[in-house]
Amino acid sequence: MKKTLQNNRRVALFPGSFDPFTIGHESIVERALPLFDEIVIAIGVNYNKQTLTTAEERLAWIKGIYRNEPRVRVIYYTGLTVDAARECGATYILRGVRMIQDFEYEKNIAETNRAMSGIETVLLYTLPEYGHISSTIVRELVKYDHDVSAYLPRNCDPSLIPSTWKVKK
């Protein structure tokens, strides 16, 4: 009986760069939690790509945000997203959609992933108030020394925010 229940667990992998993790990402996780038993936030690492934060910093940052949420796990991975999903026992991939470009991009990847592995992609539309928020915008603001508080999850551990970022105290 226990085994059957375990096998029926709905686990979703939420892959992304998360450089950095924003309130837009947080909102997707929050809204998806009632749909799944577990969400695995999977930081895709490409060591050839320049990033604002290291994979280790991103892992610590996101783990800190979900320190009191046992249904959220955080990992990083290299390679194919479907392989990371299989390793975590995830049978769904979770993604967010802000605009038509996101939709077209996600459609191709979702079809490829399903053909390769049978893993379904679940897309959630952004909340209108978060539609303009992206990690790219945060990286730009950091670059020009602007306050980024409004874009970061409220309960992120202040000690993990890089000292060079401008945030309201």
Binding site for ligand ADP (CB under 6 A): 16-18, 22, 24-25, 28, 95-98, 102, 126, 130, 133-135
List strand residue ranges (DSSP E) for 33-162, in order. Answer: 38-44, 72-77, 92-97, 120-125
Q: Please, what is the minimum distance in Å from the beta carbon of residue 96 to ligand ADP?
A: 2
Give the Cα separation of 152 and 24 in Å (integer). 9
Shortest separation between residue 29's beta carbon and ligand ADP, angstroms: 9
> Is 135 an annotated catalytic residue?
yes
49 is a catalytic site residue = yes
Closest CA to 93 of 79, 81, 77: 81
Indicate if 149 belongs to the active site.
no
Nearer to ligand ADP, 6 or 120 (CB): 120
Phi–psi pair at 145, nearest 5 degrees:
60, 40
- Pick the catalytic residue from 17, 25, 58, 95: 25
* Complex with ligand ADP: residue 125 or 161, whichever CB lies closer: 125
Residue 84, helix vs strand vs coil: helix
Q: Strand locations in 98-157, DSSP E? A: 120-125
Nearer to ligand ADP, 53 or 126 (CB): 126
Task: State the minimum distance, in angstroms, from the CB of residue 1 to ligand ADP.
Answer: 36
Q: Among 2, 49, 168, 169, which one carries the catalytic annotation? A: 49
Name the strands in the sheet holding 38-44, side by side, starting at the edge strand that comes first in the sequence.
Answer: 72-77, 38-44, 11-16, 92-97, 120-125
Q: What single-letter amino acid sits at 130?
A: Y
Cβ-based nearer residue to ligand ADP, 97 or 156: 97
Q: Smallest distance, Å, CB 94 to ligand ADP?
A: 8
Task: State the catalytic residues.
Answer: 25, 49, 98, 135
